[in-house]
Structure 1
Amino acid sequence: MTDDATLRQRTDDLAQALAVAGPRLDAPTAARVGQAVDGVRERLALGIDHTVVALAGGTGSGKSSLFNKISRLTFADVGIKRPTTARVTACSWDDGAQALLDWIGVDRERRIVQADELEGDEELDGLVLLDLPDHDSVEPKHREVVDRILPLVDLLIWVVDPQKYADDALHSGYLRESVGMEASMLVLLNQIDTVPPARRSELLTDLDRLLEDDGLVGVPVIAVSARTDEGVAQVRELLEEVCERRTVAAGRAAGELDAAARLVLAQLPAEVPWQLDQAVARELPALVEATGLDSVAGQVGAAVRNGYGMPEFPPPDRDAVTLSRARWLTRAGAPLPAGWQRALADTTQGADVLRTAVFEAMRSVPLDVSGPARARLLRRIGWALGGAGVVVGVLAGLMSGGVLDLAAPWPAVAWGAAGVLVLAGLGLTVGVVVARRRLARRRAEGVAAQGRTALERVLVDGLGTPTQRLLAEHRQVRDLAQGARETPVERPKDTAASTSPGAAAAAGSTASTPPGASGGAHA
């Protein structure tokens, strides 16, 4: 896949992550990520065949003189004009950059495009060189222009001078906010001719140390002089190599995406230890108690045993249901940032709706208090047999006492029949009681089981499914943001790395700070 196609895919992934996350990201992050996505898309729409290089620096650093030296023209404002000039000057080495310069916002009268003076510089074909206003100007509009332009460039060249290279306005206002953009940065220590040769190495070492203190490791530093041309050839060689490889624009875009993706990932914990079954199991006992399920189940059993009574479910306890929902949200949302916690509360059922659902679920549980089939008939038969046995027993007693004159073996037969009848009646009666108790236990267990199943369904529908859906979106956003970081773009070879201590350690990082970030315009 080409750099262009890869960057487009990464941009789409990040845009989708932003769309899925929606208001659950904090507003500043969402704005910064949205600006990064829009900026990269605009840059890709203009093509990455051009490499936009900007010279930035403070008053008196000599940016415009270097601009003229690199372009071999005398066009950029120098000297006394600088403090009053808030306009960007551009030099393009081909005539296909007009749309790009329009996008950057360079006035047409401030452009040199494919002038005769630039012919013979084919090695710089595709280069667009910008001279920016002074970032430390007393005019606020100058800094506004700088802050607007910096996110749009592909390679940023900071021009400093021996007197103000340690200026806090540069380091705290820009460089420290540029961590991650080392692959798209270069520092030129201008006016090196004013420094005694014996102190130059010490000066370069100190500048390297300051950059490292800012968090910028491996940023190349080149000592140059616009007056004597020292180092200018090296700068042009670097720009020629950059234009030849055409990867700086892609690297800058990749850095913007990487930084924006890191902002998103910073708000998304990698692991959210939550499982639906465990969450339901934790809250089910509380709802069972809130509905009086076990008590009602016991009442059903008693009604079946006794043959009378009609229990019913009372309305569930409001406070208990509210507390159960709050515990659910706390446990499920504990690892999530505030925006996702609010979304979780909004997408799950409210306490009143949940209480209504619990009540309706309980009312759907059948409360059957009827006894065993034909229990009444069998009980009557048992009583009848017992009564018949008593009657026969009385007759047998009369026979045995001689009141009834019946010879043997009728008294013995009567006594045996009486015993059989009484035992049969007693057996039927006891059997009905046992059957009723067994049925009562099954009915009570059935009510408890069905009630728990109904409550589980309420928990899943009202709390579990929305939680699962939100956490799935959380994982999707994280995967998309991670995918937007996974394809690094190679950094151009640093032809000047040997010019400063530590520059050889320059790495191929493509990280950046998105446009609109605090300090992100300085990346």
Structure 2
Amino acid sequence: MTDDTTLRARTDDLAQALAVAGERLDAPTAARVQQAVDGVRERLALGVDHTVVALAGGTGSGKSSLFNKISRLTFADVGIKRPTTARVTACSWDDGAEALLDWIGVDRERRIVQAGELEMDDALDGLVLLDLPDHDSIEPKHREVVDRILPLVDLLIWVVDPQKYADDALHSGYLRESVGMEASMLVLLNQIDTVPPARRDELRADLDRLLEDDGLRGVPVIAVSARTGEGVAQVHELLSEVCERQTVAAGRAAGELDAAARLLLSQVPAEVPWDLEHAVARELPALVDATGLDAVAGQVGAAVRNGYGMPEFPPPDRDAVTLSRARWLTRAGAPLPSGWQRSLAETTASADVLRTAVAEAVRKVRLDVAGPRRARATRRLAWALGIAAAAVATFAGFALGGTPDLPAPWPWLLWVLAGALLVAALAVGASVVVARRRLAARRAAGVAREGRAALEKVLADGLGLPTQKLLAEHKRVRTLAQSARDLPVAGAGSEGGSLPPGASAAASSTGAVPQAAAGVARR
């Protein structure tokens, strides 16, 4: 997979994550991620034949002087003119960067091409060098321009001077916000000629410490002087190698995607422990109590046992249903950021809708109070046997008195028959009672079981499935954001994708840590 393809895949993943998350993200996060997606797509659409390098820094740092020194022209505003304009100055080393400069927003009268009658510098072919307004200017428009341009450049060169290198406006406003972008960043300590040689190491060490405190590790620092030309050759060599290898544009795009993906991941926590079945089981008892299900089931059993009565469900308790829903949202939404919690509350059934669904669900539960199917016939049989027993016993009593005169042992046999019929009548009658009790228990259990199943479905449909869908989308956003962050760009983070050796050498000469600092392999 080529770098172009990988970057586009990462951009698509990030765009899809943004679309799935929607309004659940806070506005600044959504805007920042969208800016990264749009910026990388537009940059890739313009191609990577050019490498955009921007010189940024505060008032008096010497950006414009370095711009002129590198371009070997006298075009950028220097000195008193500088703070009066918020316009960007650009120098390109070929005449094919017009579309790119239009996208960046550089005024046409502020562009110059290092070609034609000017001395060509083939080593910097493809370079587009920008001189930005001062980020600390008293004019708000200046910072607005800087903030707009920074995400569009491929390599950002911060120019600092010995007097203001520790300025909080630079460190808190920009450098600390650039963690993860070290691969496309360089720091030039300008005006080094004004620092006594004995203090230079101390100055560089302090600058390194400040960068470390900002969370920036491995950013090359080169000491330069726009006035004497010290270090400018190293910068020129670094830029020429960057242009030759065409690594920085992809590296900057990858850094933008990394930063946006990390920001998005901060809105979607890694662990959201939740299980639909367990959540329904936890809240079911509350709805059982709210509907009086167990009491109605008991009434059904009593009606079956007694042979009369017709119970019915009362209206569900409004407060109990409302409290049940609130507990559900609290338990399910506790690990989620506020935007996702708000979406959970909006997508699940409201308390009134839930109460209506509960009422309809229990209304459909069968409340069958009919006795056993053969109870009437069995009861009639018991009465018939009892009457027969009484008749036989009466006849046997008359027989014992001699009327009628029956020879022994018939009177006694009649008594035995009467007793047997009475026992049979009692047994048949008892069987009716036992059958009713058994049926009553089954009916009561059936009502309780059917009612619980109906309430479980209400919880699952009204609260569970919307929660499950939202958490699935939450997980999907995190997966896509991780993919946008983790998909490798060829050479990124490896020796093949670092800033050229000149950067490391220059950084070593200034006391900085010589680590990989920019770009990816040629696409």
In the alignment, which residue of structure 2 is the partner of 1:130? 130
- In 1, the alpha carbon distance for the partners of 2:333 and 2:104 equals 43
Q: Residues 213-244 of structure 1: CA distance to partner in whole angstroms, max 9, x if unpaired?
A: 32222211111122222111100111011112
The offset of 1:143, in angstroms, is 2.4
Which residue number in structure 1 is paired with residue 165 of structure 2? 165
What secondary structure, in the 3-state scheme, does the structure 1 residue paired with 2:60 have?
coil
Q: Measure, in 2, the Cα distance between the counterparts of 1:505 and 1:24.
A: 39
The question of whether the paired residues in 2 share the 8 Å contact of 1:245 and 1:492 is answered with no
* Number of the residue aligned with 1:504: 514
Q: Is residue 250–residue 519 contact of structure 2 (8 Å, CA) maintained in 1?
A: no
Runs of 4+ residues over 4 Å off in structure 1: 117-120, 506-510
**Correspondence for 1:253:** 253
Question: What is the deviation of 1:205?
Answer: 1.8
Relative distance call for 1:172 and 1:53 in structure 2 (3 A) is: same
Structure 1 pair 478/428, CA: closer, same or farther in 2 (3 Å)? same
Q: Does structure 1 retain, via aligned residues, the 8 Å contact 2:304–2:437?
A: yes
Measure, in 1, the Cα distance between the counterparts of 2:377 and 2:172. 96
Equivalent in the alignment of 2:213: 213
Q: Distance in 1 between matches of 2:288 and 2:177?
A: 56
The amino acid across from 2:342 in the alignment is R
Paired position in structure 2 for 1:519: none
| In 1: Cα distance, 2:346 partner to 2:141 partner | 44
Residue in structure 2 matched with residue 201 of structure 1 by the alignment: 201
- 1:283 and 1:204 map into 2 onto residues whose CA distance is 63
The alignment partner of 1:135 has SS state of: coil
Q: Does 1:477 align with 2:487?
A: no
User: 1:374 and 1:168 mapped to 2: Cα distance?
Assistant: 93
Q: CA deviation at 1:506?
A: 4.8
2:221 corresponds to which letter in structure 1? Answer: V
SS of the residue corresponding to residue 128 of structure 2 reads strand
Aligned partners of 2:168, 2:296: CA distance in 1, in Å? 75
Match of 2:151 in 1: 151
Q: What is the CA deviation profile of residues 275-306 of structure 1, one whole-angstrom value per residue up to 9, with x for unaligned ones?
A: 01111111111111111111111111111111
Per-residue displacement from partner, 1:4-30 (whole Å, max 9, x unpaired)?
A: 111111111111111111111111111
Say which SS state the counterpart of residue 484 (structure 1) adopts: helix
Query: Does structure 2 retain, via aligned residues, the 8 Å contact 1:400–1:411?
Result: yes
Alignment correspondent of 1:48: 48
The 2-side partners of 1:368 and 1:496 are apart by 87
For residues 194-213 of structure 1, what are the alpha-carbon distances to aligned partners after superposition, in whole Å with 9 as ceiling and x for unaligned? Answer: 22222222222222222223
Counterpart contact for 1:208–1:500, Cα < 8 Å:
no
Aligned to 2:495: none
1:191 Cα deviation from its structure 2 partner? 2.0
Measured at CA, do residues 492 and 160 of structure 1 come closer, stay the same or move farther in structure 2, by a change above 3 Å? same
Unaligned 5+ runs, structure 2: 493-497
Cα gap change, 1:469 to 1:509, in 2 (>3 Å): farther
Match of 2:460 in 1: 460
Equivalent position SS for 2:485:
coil
- 2:503 corresponds to 1:493: no
> Structure 1 residues 397 and 144 mapped into 2: Cα distance closer, same or farther (>3 Å)?
same
Q: Distance in 1 between matches of 2:309 and 2:413?
A: 45
Task: For residue 395 of structure 1, report the CA deviation from its aligned partner.
Answer: 0.9
- The equivalent residue for 1:139 is 139
- SS of 2:237 mapped into structure 1: helix
Q: Give the Cα separation in 1 of the matches to 2:32 and 2:22.
A: 13
Distance in structure 2 (CA, Å) of the matches to 1:209 and 1:460: 56
Query: 3-state DSSP class of the match of 1:106?
Result: coil
TM-score with structure 2 setting the length: 0.94
Aligned AA for 2:24?
R
Q: The residue matched to 2:166 in structure 1 has which SS?
A: coil
Sequence identity percentage:
80
In 2, are the aligned partners of 1:181 and 1:509 still within 8 Å (CA)? no
Shift of 1:391: 1.1
Q: Distance in 2 between matches of 1:42 and 1:370?
A: 75
Q: Could you tell me how far 1:63 is from its partner in structure 2?
A: 1.6
The yes-or-no answer on 1:62 pairing with 2:56 is no
Aligned to 1:28: 28
Aligned positions of 1:165-184 closer than 5 A = 165-184=165-184
Q: Separation in 1 of the partners of 2:140 and 2:423? A: 111
User: C-alpha distance in 1, partners of 2:192/2:114?
Assistant: 31
AA matched with 2:145 = V
Rounded Cα–Cα distance in structure 2 between residues aligned with 1:118 and 1:215: 42
> Residue type matched to 1:199 in 2?
R
Going from structure 1 to structure 2, the CA distance change for 1:229 and 1:323 (only over 3 Å counts) comes to: same
| Correspondence list, 1:420-435, <5 A | 420-435=420-435
Q: Distance in 1 between matches of 2:329 and 2:144?
A: 45
- Which structure has more RCO (C-alpha within 8 Å, separation ≥ 6)? 1
Query: How far apart, in 1, do the equivalents of 2:85 and 2:352 lie?
Result: 65
CA distance in 2, matches of 1:272, 1:447: 36
Deviation readout 1:468-507 (Å, 9 max, x if unpaired): 0010001001101111101244233352322222331455
Match of 2:443 in 1: 443
Q: Which residue of 2 is the match for residue 521 of structure 1?
A: none
Query: In 1, distance between residues paired with 2:427 and 2:195?
Result: 120
- Maintained 8 Å contact 1:180/1:509: no
5 Å-filtered alignment, 1:268-279, equals 268-279=268-279
**How big is the alpha-carbon RMSD for the aligned residues of Structure 1 and Structure 2?**
1.8
| 1:264 corresponds to | 264
CA shift in 2, pair 1:365/1:325, >3 Å = same
Deviation of 1:454 (Å): 0.8
> Is 1:344 the counterpart of 2:354 in the alignment?
no
The 8 Å contact of residues 57 and 160 in structure 1, kept in 2 or not, is answered as: yes
Q: Secondary structure at the match of 2:133?
A: coil
1:119 CA drift (Å): 5.3
State the alpha-carbon separation in 2 of the partners of residues 118 and 10 from structure 1.
41
Distance 1:136-1:434 versus aligned 2 partners, 3 A rule:
closer
- Does the 8 Å CA contact 2:221/2:512 hold for their aligned counterparts? no
Which SS does the other structure have where 2:242 is aligned? Answer: helix
Offset, 1:508 = 6.1
**Aligned-partner Cα distance in 2 for 1:401–1:180:** 118
Amino acid at match of 2:15: A
Structure 2 counterpart SS, 1:128: strand
| C-alpha distance 194-117 of structure 1, shift in aligned 2 (>3 A) | farther
Equivalent residue letter for 1:122: D
Partner of 1:405: 405
Which is worse superposed, 40-49 or 267-276? 40-49
